[in-house]
């Protein structure tokens, strides 16, 4: 596919047209994230879904690559086009550094528009948003813990 075809694909999933300048920024972001053009067919629908449904999600600016890696790893390890909520939850939590509370996980599914029902099955492309919320939560928690530990160290040094 060429650049124009990729742009049309992105616009189709986004549900509206984007300017050439916006498209230039999107392509620059994908290149910065080191996503090969051969993978744009998978990455663009995911990016459009995140942008369309959760424009304020900070992952769009900073950590799309992390979510992309989560999804690629899920596709490779699980070899299924869709997963039940409980399967995806278990797989996602197993790969996280921090262990979220059960209610937090349910919130991620709710925010992503995929209400958690144990045996409800969703395609991986719909579960992308759940992974995005999980990664964002983990990033914020890790940053908060690191900040509080740094403050504790500063308190000890001052005394």
Nearest to 46, CA basis, from 14, 90, 6: 14
Cβ atoms within 10 Å, residue 110: 13
36-93 pLDDT per residue, tens? 888 888 888 878 877 777 666 655 545 666 677 777 777 777 777 788 889 888 888 8
Q: How many CA atoms lie within 13 A of 140 on its CB side?
A: 10
**What's the average model confidence in pLDDT over 106-126?**
86
């Amino acid at each position: 596919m060429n650049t124009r075809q990729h742009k049309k694909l992105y616009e189709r999933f986004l549900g509206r047209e984007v300017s050439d300048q916006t498209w230039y920024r999107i392509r620059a972001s994908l290149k910065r994230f080191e996503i090969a053009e051969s993978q744009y067919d998978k990455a663009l629908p995911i990016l459009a879904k995140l942008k369309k449904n959760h424009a304020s999600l900070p992952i769009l600016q900073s950590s799309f690559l992390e979510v992309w890696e989560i999804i690629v790893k899920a596709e490779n390890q699980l070899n299924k086009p869709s997963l039940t909520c409980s399967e995806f939850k278990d797989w996602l939590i197993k790969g996280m550094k921090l262990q979220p509370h059960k209610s937090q996980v349910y919130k991620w599914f709710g925010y992503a528009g995929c209400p958690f029902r144990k045996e409800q099955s969703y395609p991986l492309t719909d579960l992308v948003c759940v992974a995005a919320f999980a990664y964002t939560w983990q990033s914020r928690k890790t940053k908060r813990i690191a900040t509080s530990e740094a403050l504790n160290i500063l308190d000890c040094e001052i005394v």
